[in-house]
Amino acid sequence: MQVLSFLLLACVAYSFSHSKYPIIKNGSRVDPSLKGVYRMRNGRPNEVWQKKELSAHITGPQPKDNPVVLPDDFNWCDHPDGKNYCTMSRNQHIPQYCGSCWAHGSVSALGDRIKIARKAKGIDINLSVQHVLNRIEDGSSCHGGGVDSVYSWMKDKDIPLSYETSNPYLACSHESFEGNCKYMKRDLTSAARTCATFGVPCVELKKYPNATLAQYGDVSGRDDMMQEIYQRGPIACGIDAAPILNYTQGIAHMEGEQVDHVISVTGWGQENSVFYWIVRNSWGEYWGEMGYIRVAFGKLLVEEQCVWGVPAGFTTVDNQVHCYEGGENCD
């Protein structure tokens, strides 16, 4: 038995040391009939495409391959060093309803990892969800998308993702007719733009502050998720949102039936010996615990499908392209 155990460990060690990178997975295909329409569940839209396997583009070992000892409590928003490494909370449902949780979860987690890379110095970099809605090519929209859609698009298409100030959130995509969306069709094509003054056409910016992605992948299960979060930063995960529509505070213990929403997980904690995930939602700070919810380990399907992304580069004052106020030198 000891010989067998030794051989198994040797095989695992060999497989890690001899993995061939990049590891590229295309993920499961999505039924085209699910794209661009709401699928109702319990009287509310399901915003997530169901996929058996997520896509990935992995260029090196992951934290789960090299686990470290973990603390009982850890949160990037309230780090042990006294800093906050989390970016802003968002609300996907204004100025009108948009089922873009799949974009908010990934964009927020990537923004956090940029802030981690910057050691929480300087003004926060908030990335543009609207750029994703305007330009993504897999059919994701205000009517739903995949847990992995944002990172797959960014890496596969080498997308430099705009900052929020160059493309603020409109809560609209090409097929949307909710609220103001029916009047905004001409504005839903930009990566980045600016409008100089009255009566002057707006300018599409070809050079703009942006962030790029080095690699991304999927992770699931409590232990692997904790290693990924602790060693590299927040992740985006699916969740069953139906039981938490009226959540106000405390630890959620509901089982969950189906993933229909995407959030980001910034850490974990414990209360009265109950361990929980610290989850940032995208429903505004009026909801929950200032926009967050604590979800008990193993509940609401949070541990079923998650994605991580590693930033490659991002714009700061040190590498900025300096555009005029009207943007005419960057069009």
What amino acid positions are annotated as catalytic residues?
101, 261, 281
Q: Which two tokens stand for residue 270?
A: 């414990």
CA distances (Å), 149 to each of 4, 43, 94, 137, in order?
42, 25, 22, 9
The SS3 of residue 102 is: helix
Q: How far is CA 292 from CA 289, 297, 302, in A?
A: 5, 15, 14
Q: Which tokens go with 150? A: 């944002």
Cβ–Cβ < 8 Å for 193, 167: yes
The amino acid sitting at 242 is A
Going by C-alpha positions, the residue among 146, 126, 142 that lies closest to residue 134 is 142
Q: b/e string for 101-130 if b means 16 or more Cβ within 10 A?
A: bbbbbbbbbbbbbbbbbbebeeebbbbbbb
